[in-house]
Amino acid sequence: MNTKLISLLTAAASASTQLLHAHLIGNGPHDHGAMKYDFSVRPPAGVLLAQAARPASPASPAPVAANNSSNSAKAAPFQAFAPKVRTRADANFLYVESDGMPAHNMMVGITAWQQQVPLPQPYTGNNAWRIPLNPMPSKNPVSIKGRFLRGAIALAANGIPIFNPQNNRGEVAQEIGELDQWGGHCGRADDYHYHATPFHLQSVVGKGLPVAYALDGYPIYGLTEPDGSSPTKLDVFNGHELPGLGYHYHGSTKYPYVNGGFHGEVVERDGQVDPQPRAQPMREAGAPLRGARITGFTSKESKSYSLKYEVSGETRHANYTLNDDKSVKFDFVDGRGQVKSETFTPRPRGPGGGQKGKGGQKKGERK
């Protein structure tokens, strides 16, 4: 780690702290890469509560809440985002619940867009994230290169999943304009996720805590150790063992950006870590919109969102509103102000339905 990079990042981190208080939203391409926090973009609390109230499936009963010191240490980074992010534990796992909507702004800076937008996700109850409380080193540690291209490989402290730095076609998302200024974008189910370590969370969790956990249960720290020193002797997965800290990974500003593999045991099934929560698709997956550049994203009352983008020399908007009945109404506004409206309702989530789902039911209404 060179010292120039560290001083840059330190400067960025303190800038981030100032912005945190200033409630600014970055809207221009010139702020690309700046680290910001915008707590004015709030998640739809009503939706989160409604989903939390859903009855648990009898097949896998909700784990018993427990509170011992080992799980509370592991829960600490997530608790920095309470009450939006909630944790509980049993003997083996820390369960993390979120609605998949970060408190920071999103989408701005994306230049390779598949026309997906951030929608709340039901990562609650039996569909919560789970982090092993007692990670076990694997006898055969596996790299993530060209593997685990579906689903998450880690979970950020703010309850947002982190996917492989490679997208599902094997391209490095960060290097082809797919990611916003916060390292994230939305998947086929309009599920927001990162493809890189969200270093900007460090200013929220504090210096000494990891910003994420890999799904094998080992923590992912930022660019420095808890004492501020630079990590040394990192293995091929960007991890190492330190006295007192045990095995842990570090995020990086170039490939692999996150944990480069799993030091610990994970189960791989259908190209992803298994089991893991499913996202809830509402509509057909979008197609790449060539030449589009997302320049703004705003939220009103945590219920309506407006995504602004430039394409073919005009400014367009995708405006959408979360309704109380869980449907979502979209107004697609083209450069001449013509509006095309569509309303989507969540499709039932059958076994394995979420990620493979072809999209929701549509109540078409065009004008």
* Nearest-approach distance from CB 230 to Zn ion, in angstroms: 9
Residue 125 or 357: which CB sits closer to Zn ion?
A: 357
* Nearest-approach distance from CB 279 to Zn ion, in angstroms: 11
* Nearest-approach distance from CB 8 to Zn ion, in angstroms: 19
Residue 89 or 106: which CB sits closer to Zn ion?
A: 106
Amino acid in the structure at residue 179: L
Residue 187 or 251: which CB sits closer to Zn ion?
A: 187
By rule CB under 5 A, what count of residues binds Zn ion? 3
C-alpha 206/C-alpha 101 separation (Å) is 21
CB 140 within 8 A of CB 123: no
CB 79 within 8 A of CB 87: yes
Tokens representing 39 are: 């707590």
Longest dimension (CA), the chain: 64
Per-residue binding letters, 198-237, with Zn ion (x by CB under 5 A): ---------------------------x-----x------
Burial of 211 (0-12, 13-18, 19+ CB in 10 A): buried
Residue 75 or 179: which CB sits closer to Zn ion?
A: 179
* Nearest-approach distance from CB 317 to Zn ion, in angstroms: 23
| Alpha-carbon dihedral angle through residues 132, 256, 203, 41, given to the nearest 10 degrees | -90
* Nearest-approach distance from CB 185 to Zn ion, in angstroms: 6
Residue 54 or 254: which CB sits closer to Zn ion?
A: 254
Binding segment toward Zn ion, per CB under 5 A, in 11-19, 127-135, 180-188, 355-363: 180-188
* Nearest-approach distance from CB 168 to Zn ion, in angstroms: 7
Per-residue binding letters, 20-59, with Zn ion (x by CB under 5 A): ----------------------------------------
Considering only residues 135 to 154 of the shown chain, the ones binding Zn ion according to CB under 5 A are none
* Nearest-approach distance from CB 351 to Zn ion, in angstroms: 23
Residue 224 or 343: which CB sits closer to Zn ion?
A: 224
* Nearest-approach distance from CB 58 to Zn ion, in angstroms: 33
Residue 185 or 200: which CB sits closer to Zn ion?
A: 185
Residue nearest to Zn ion (CB): 231
Q: Where are the beta strands (DSSP E) in 187-338?
A: 192-194, 212-214, 219-221, 239-242, 246-250, 261-264, 267-269, 272-274, 293-300, 304-311, 314-322, 328-333
Residue 77 or 231: which CB sits closer to Zn ion?
A: 231
Full DSSP string of 72-127:
HHHHHHHHTTTTTSEEEE-SSEEEEEB-S--SS--STT-SS--S-------B-GGG
Burial of 69 (0-12, 13-18, 19+ CB in 10 A): exposed
Binding segment toward Zn ion, per CB under 5 A, in 59-67, 97-105, 182-190, 262-270: 182-190
Q: What angle do CA 21, 25, 27 make, to 5 degrees?
A: 155
Instruction: Give 8's contacts (C-beta < 8 A, 6+ positions apart).
Output: none
Site residues for Zn ion per CB under 5 A: 187, 225, 231
